[in-house]
A and B are shown apart, each in its own frame.
Chain A
Amino acid sequence: MVIPPLRRKVWRDIRRLWGQALAIALVLGAGVATMILGNGAYGALSDTRARYYADHRFADIFADLTRAPLGLLEDIATLDGVLQAEARIVKLARPEIPGLAEPAALLLVSLPESGGLNRLYLREGRLPAPDAANEALVSQDFARVHRLRSGARMTVVMNGKRQDLEITGIALSPEFIYALGPGEMMPDPRRFGVAWLSRPALQAAYDLDGAFSNVVLRLAPGTPPARVIQSLDRLTLPYGGGGATGRDEQTSHAFLDAELGQLRAMVRVLPPVFLLVAAMLVHMTLSRLIALEREQIGLLKALGYGPTRIAAHYLEFVLAIALAGVVAGLAAGTWLGAGLAQLYARFFSFPFLDFGRDPQVYGLAAIVALVAAAGGALQSLRAVIALPPAIAMAPPAPPDYRKTASVAERLLPLRQTGRMVLRHLLRWPLRSVTSIFGVAMAVAILVASLWSFGSIERMIHVTFGLAEGADARITFATATPAAAVLDLRHLPGVMAAEPFRVLPARLSHGTRSKRLAIEGRSPTARLSRLLSPALRPMPVPEHGLILSEALAAALGVGRGDRVEVAFLQGRRAVVDLPVSGISLGYVGLGAAMDLDTLNRANGEGDLVSGANVALDAAETDAFLAAADAAPAIGFVTLTDLTVARFRATLAENITLMITVYVGLAAIIAVGVVYSFFRVSLSEQGRDLASLRVLGFTRAEVARIVMAELAAIVLLAQPLGWLLGHLIGRAMVAAFSSDLYRVPFVMGREVYATASLTVIAAALVSALAIRGRIDRLDLIAVLKTRE
């Protein structure tokens, strides 16, 4: 087979211009990789979740109650729109694990009936026998961390009584894909797990014969959950129902939703940036190549090659490079995707998480990338087609610089070489501007990712440094008379204890409503404080509510507005309360009010849910041991542990994320700088060689090109900061959910780090190509016309 000469020229051109080809391929590849990564992860996560939910009959509605007779289930199941209802027993217990000194919690859930809801995925072992009193399945992550295998035994304090359980197997549930322990901010499988026991076992342990404490429902497709929740709440009211929730308020589901939202935000921002920059590089490189090959193009036309044939040749050149980029991008995307899937596997417990090699995702990424590259080539190709052969064969007119003398020049005391730099930049304004934009995007990507460090530190500082002064938070197993707080003061190490009460309630304003736990606080509390957005402590008002910013925004209320508060426990009072203030809060939706006012409004008497305590650090172990032994205490959270876990988890994530982003930004910066440099050198190589002949040193000549690059890179910085700031703002909006609200902390050090990183990348690529200036052939340029 004979390779057509033009085809051979494609390969030769690529080999000759391999640096520029590589730059284009890398940037395009990064675009493809981020597309694969984002779309792939989004698809994998949402598809896997959907399949898992469907296969395992994930419930649509969840409701906790104190105790209801099984007979009630009949009424619930016949509610309009309800396909299936299952009564369960769900209780929080305390595992006793040798070597685990910190407080831990184990959520006990009765096994779903055959054909029931939230069915388990059995990873290993077998189900507990239907009426076995001391057999359990445990959740996979908890089992893994504690090296529990089927057949192992574990002691659990259930309802104040120690019980020895045999682990018959390890399981996962669609209900606990993201398993967050009570009072925690981050999942910690060491200190929180789920165990499934037979109903009879839990009935016996919690005195719930013929009764249940939790119900889950599956709805007929298309049924609006809100209506069913209303009817369900009416039915469970007499039995201590705390208000049902839909999937959107179910912890595991909501966290996955938040993650999906972030992925979508990433897919919207990153790939387009890379594709745009790649198209720009294609344009830059190809238009220069075509300018250099005018005469060849004219010759080919004169020889009888059609204009489209010649254009096709250059398109082939571009597409060959793009294809290399696509292949690299697909490979990198797949590799990164596998890494991301592993990361997800650490946070989310799926029985399977296939980072699907969805051909659609791959195909789309490839096509979009090729289209972007071809788009970048469009203008140059049109020029090829339009070029008349006669004109093409004549040497090009020298570039006309008449119009470039600028105001800037008159203001700056420039030497002639400075004028060369300025005028060359202004002679090709589009190229200069797009290059500035390209470098600015590299800066922006960094700015938009680096701010999260400061943001997390701010969250930790505000939440745990300023607001939360307590060392531990004790939550009673059930609401308890206020006097119990006095007993807590006698526990070892406890120096102060301040009561709180949490009550589930639905807050409404107009058509908007949110279900959350209202916290009752003592007006004299000193340990744990509410903070205003200006970080000043806020006193607890006597009558009104203090809402967190997120809640106020969700309800669309401000100070002075009134909200309807429907308590979901006890008397189920519905009261109308004024909003007395808006507080700062990053985690969850928060509402606080005076403890006594809350108790009066709710009408169950003077009760508390627990206490915030100050501890003598030296006696923490003794305190925990004593708290473990106290039957009234449901669970204890230690502030230090929460902070440490929060920091560790985020640090790990963010380090990974920042590494990826720095890599991506460097690819853009290096790609743009290198391409710009090569094109600029190609255009000015002759002039620079002439300067060398005239007695300019290598350094002086290099400085001309470097100055041009420096102008591009420096001008890009403020633009990059601005773009990064805007992207960061958009990300904050995308990341903010009812679960989290991320503070936007954009400090000077973020800009500085981003700029220094990009400047370093530019410098590295500039140094790498500096040799080309040193090797300029002085004699060749004298022999030839351009």
Chain B
Amino acid sequence: MGIDVAGRGIAITATGLTKVYRNGPVEVHALRGVDFTALRGEFVVVLGPSGSGKSTFLNILGGIDSASAGSVLFNGQDITRLDETGLTRYRRDHVGFVFQFYNLVPSLTALENVALVTEISANPMRPDEALDLVGLTARRDHFPAQLSGGEQQRVAIARAIAKRPELLFCDEPTGALDSATGIMVLEALTEANRATGATTLVITHNAAIREIADRTLRFADGRIVEDTANPCRKRADQVSW
């Protein structure tokens, strides 16, 4: 147990994960008992129709949302039982996030946005190293307002991996980008995944992206309805949208 055939350890395990939103009398079941295990360094693509619970799933795994039932085991710890302080520590020490809208701090340059995170983590890379990984060394002193969407997203990726997280969660990182830019972002992600060994979960609406992943999950109606391995990963620039 805990070791897969390839000899990689387990990064994170979700068991019976359930999320119910209650808005007055209306109950929305966002997750209906999800079981999931990711291995260290695995690159997982999450697909599924809108409203199927992908973001909810990722947010609970990332420690920014709470589950209604079930558990999420990370390093032998059930993060669904952590309090606010524990969750903050968890995010700070182990998790990197990349979001559809980048969420960069507009008053900080690219390099400073990365440094924002390296300053508070235990074993970070140098900020310029992280920027180099996403190919943005030349733009290090530019503010978000001076960067294109794709560049901003790459800065966000650099910021997410600079702390050398065990887990990297990306919610529609290419959602706001055209395909050419999207490919560059995906390249950055796969490179980050390779370089840091972070277990990477990427939500996307673009089914073609699964070709660059180790594994694909498909969500529907709050459940994982399909879990397929991809034995031959393609490089991002080989994917057609």
Contacts and interface: CB of A to CB of B under 8 A. Distances in A.
B84 A698 contact: yes
A407 interface: no
Interface in A664-698: 686-687, 690-698
Interface stretch (B45-53, B73-81, B93-101): B93-101
B120 interface: yes
Interface of A: prevailing SS: helix
Interface string B86-113: 0011011101010111011111100011
Q: Which among B59, B93, B108 has the greatest number of chain A C-beta atoms within 10 A?
A: B108
A400 interface: yes
B64 A778 contact: yes
B132 interface: no
A782 B171 contact: yes
Contact of B106 (A687, A694, A695): A687
Given A399-B145, A694-B159, A420 B107 contact: yes
A404 B120 CA distance: 24
A416 interface: yes
B127 to A, nearest CB: 10
Contacts of A783: 55
A700 B108 CA distance: 17
Contact of A696 (B64, B92, B103, B115): B92
A783 B88 CA distance: 20
Contacts of A401: 106-108, 143, 145
A785 B101 contact: yes
A399 B106 contact: yes
B117 interface: yes
Given A400-B143, A402-B143, A784 B101 contact: yes
A416 B108 contact: yes
Contact of B144 (A398, A692, A695, A697): A398
Interface residues of B, number: 37
B59 A779 contact: yes
A424 interface: yes
B146 interface: yes
A397 B144 CA distance: 10
Contact of B88 (A687, A692, A779, A785): A692
A729 interface: no
Interface string A375-404: 000000000000000000000011111101
A113 to B, nearest CB: 84
Nearest to B144: A398
B116 A694 contact: yes
B120 A696 contact: yes
B85 interface: yes
A419 interface: yes
A697 B85 contact: yes
B150 to A, nearest CB: 15
B227 interface: no
B107 A404 contact: yes
B65 interface: yes
B91 A693 contact: yes
A687 B105 contact: yes
Nearest to A399: B106
Of all A-B residue pairs in the complex, the 10 with the closest CB atoms, nearest first, are A695-B92, A690-B103, A695-B91, A423-B107, A416-B116, A400-B145, A398-B145, A401-B107, A778-B64, A687-B105
22 contacts: A397-B145, A398-B106, A400-B143, A401-B145, A416-B119, A420-B105, A686-B103, A687-B106, A687-B107, A690-B105, A691-B116, A693-B103, A694-B91, A694-B92, A694-B116, A695-B88, A695-B117, A696-B120, A778-B64, A779-B65, A782-B59, A784-B101
Interface of B: 55, 59, 62, 64-65, 84-85, 88-89, 91-93, 95, 97, 99-101, 103-108, 112-113, 115-117, 119-121, 143-146, 159, 171
Given A398-B145, A400-B145, A695-B95, 5 more contacts: A400-B143, A416-B108, A419-B112, A695-B91, A698-B84
